[in-house]
Amino acid sequence: MQDKRMNNKNHNIMKKRIINVFVIAAACLSLSACTMLQGLGSQLSGLANLANCEYSLKNVSNLNIAGVNVKDITNGNIGATDVLKLSTALLSKQVPMAMNVNIDVKNPTTQNAALTAMDWILDIDGSQFAQGNSAKNYTITKQQTTTVPLGVNTDLYSMFSKDGLNSLKNFVNSFKSDGTSSKVGLRIKPSLNVGGVQVPMPNYIKVEKKTGNKS
């Protein structure tokens, strides 16, 4: 009889322990879900803030075409060494162009915005020429303007393979001291990682320089 009572007592103790484990587990799951929902809510808020940001072109830096530092060219005077580089590039059927497009992102909201990726489309003479993306994290501070550098790389050979060196030289000469050119345009689509998924803005944004911005 005593053994039976002891077994019943042990059974009750075990039962209570099991119930306590389930209660603790449920509480942990609930807490985890709440934390997850709070994090997701914060990310969605960041996405909304990102959508309200304003994007403009500040300048273009480190512009290089086939090994030619475009910034070094003044008044359209391309030196013999640079002409040789351009000619060699055409003969090798590779005319790489690389540049950093510095984009001013103005956040007019009262909350920080997060930027985790950016797709881009490069237009030349009004037509889409190349596209790519950059996956870098930036915090766009509330009621501030943050400059985001976007690396753009492509190969221009297909554009100048027929018209040759003079056409390429004219293209190089079209760039101003701030790295911009009337022949070149850029469209961007910022996005934010929400719950492990990249959520982009619905449409591409044409990035243009603000009137009066000479930087």
- In this structure, what token pair is assigned to residue 25? 């587990």
- Listed in sequence order, the DSSP H helices in 52-128 are 80-91
pLDDT at 1: 53
Chain centroid to CA 89: how far? 29
Q: Examine the pLDDT at 27 and tell me if it is beyond 90.
A: no
Query: What residues are paired with 54 via a beta bridge?
Result: 106
Q: What is the mean pLDDT of residues 37-49?
A: 56
Instruction: Residue 183: name the closest of 127, 111, 102 by CA.
Output: 127
Alpha carbon distances (Å) from 58 to 28, 128, 140, 179: 49, 21, 16, 10
> What percentage of the chain has pLDDT greater than the value 70?
74
The pTM score is: 0.74
Residue 202 confidence (pLDDT) above 60: yes
Of the given ranges (84-98, 143-157, 172-186, 188-202), which has the lowest mean pLDDT? 188-202
- Specify the pLDDT at position 214: 55
Instruction: State pLDDT tens for residues 69-93.
Output: 988 886 667 889 999 999 999 999 9
How open is the CA angle 42-138-201, to the nearest 5 degrees?
A: 65
pLDDT for 114: 86
Residue 194 pLDDT class (50, 70, 90 cuts): confident
Helix (H, G, I), strand (E, B) or coil at 73: coil
Of residues 48 and 106, more confidence is placed in 106
Residues 113-151 pLDDT 10s: 888 899 999 999 999 999 999 999 899 999 999 999 999
pLDDT > 80? residue 13: no
Query: What number of CA atoms fall less than 13 Å from residue 80's CA on the CB side?
Result: 0
Per DSSP, the three-state class of 196 is: coil
**The tokens of 78 are what?**
């391309």
State residue 155's pLDDT score: 97
Where is pLDDT greater, at 18 or 187?
A: 187
Q: Quick one: fold of 48-207?
A: Immunoglobulin-like (2.60.40)
Alpha-carbon distance of 101 to 212, in angstroms, equals: 18
Domain ranges of the chain: 48-207
